[in-house]
Amino acid sequence: MEAKAQVSSNKYAADIFSIREAEERISSYIHKTPVLSSETLNSISGRKLYFKCECFQKGGAFKFRGACNAVFSLDEDQAAKGVVTHSSGNHAAALSLAAKLRGIPAHIVIPKGAPKCKVENVIRYGGKVIWSEPTLQSREEVAAKVLQETGAVLIHPYNDGRIMSGQGTIALELLEQAPQIDTIIVPISGGGLISGVAIAAKSINPGIRILAAEPKGADDSARSREAGSIVTLSETKTIADGLRAFLGDITWPVVRDLVDDIIVVEDKEIVEAMRLCYEVLKVAVEPSGAIGLAAVLSNSFKNNPISKDCNNVAIVISGGNVDLDVLWKSLNY
């Protein structure tokens, strides 16, 4: 089912104006990431592909855009007390780096068992790690305690208009770099990335298609679309550790209204896409970053009627932070 809603400037937590403001706010801090292409992958997919490589962003993932926008949106009094978040991955490192650039503390609640490379990034960027149990309830309880003790400002990983606006700057760059694209495929988890991209892209080109890519073992977004309301899962099981969150009440309306369809793929398809990214595109990606390529190569996409009009397809490679031992194991999946 294709999205038909028009983008209203006051309907969602972000709009094209807040996204352009974010672009101006963060432009001196972020990398303008490249768009790569491959004739080999074009041939395999049967369409022209354009890879927006956020794996080359500071912190190794797109998350730095939103975190940077949120941190530099704070007034001096708010910033002085620092920021806090709960995250097992790239948002934790991104917020630590953004806080370091502004010279303020970052308190990062991380669940036990988080990917080693992502924890090391938090420490490298000066974030203060506070451990929680590996449940959302524990993460939120520990974060609430830190908030009470420090008076810091909570920066949610995705359910925040400032975060959505920062992530939306990807679409502004992408449509300048490759204005011919007719489709953008974006990983989906909590929805901050795809919300920002959808709002920006459809404000500029209302006819552009926005497709979400989601792992079968964490397909809450696809189920939410089918149900017409937010669905959460009792557990998730996917190699894509960055795609295990659930939609928030701020991101859900954008996903509901502006995302044209959700392509669900198996983990084995994600692993094969990772292999192609390494061997053909020559880019290091994490599983969450490879899912867009997995989606465009999947039978679920090829058999979807929407695919017949997807000729110039942009794929957001969301990040490249992967533990090497996990990578070696996954390539023998």
Task: Give the integer Cα–Cα distance in Å for 255 and 230.
Answer: 10
Strands 209-215 and 183-187: parallel
**Which of these, 240, 249, 230, lies nearest to 292 by C-alpha position?**
240
Check: CB of residue 66 under 8 Å from CB of residue 167. Answer: yes
The set of residues, in sequence order, having a beta carbon less than 8 Å from that of 83 and lying 6+ positions away, is: 70, 71, 74, 95, 99, 104, 105, 106, 107, 152, 153, 154, 155
Catalytic annotation, pick one of 63, 132, 189, 221: 63
Task: Give the integer Cα–Cα distance in Å for 166 and 280.
Answer: 30
Catalytic annotation, pick one of 88, 132, 165, 195: 88
11 is catalytic: no
Query: Which pair of structure tokens corresponds to residue 58?
Result: 């500071």
Helix (H) or strand (E) holding 317: strand 312-317
195 is catalytic: no
Helix (H) or strand (E) holding 274: helix 267-276
Q: Work out the angle between the directed axes of helices 16-26 and 161-177 (0-180°, nearest 10).
A: 80
**How do the residues of the chain divide into helix, strand and coil, expressed in percent and rounded to 5?**
50, 15, 35
> Among all residues, which ones are annotated catalytic?
63, 88
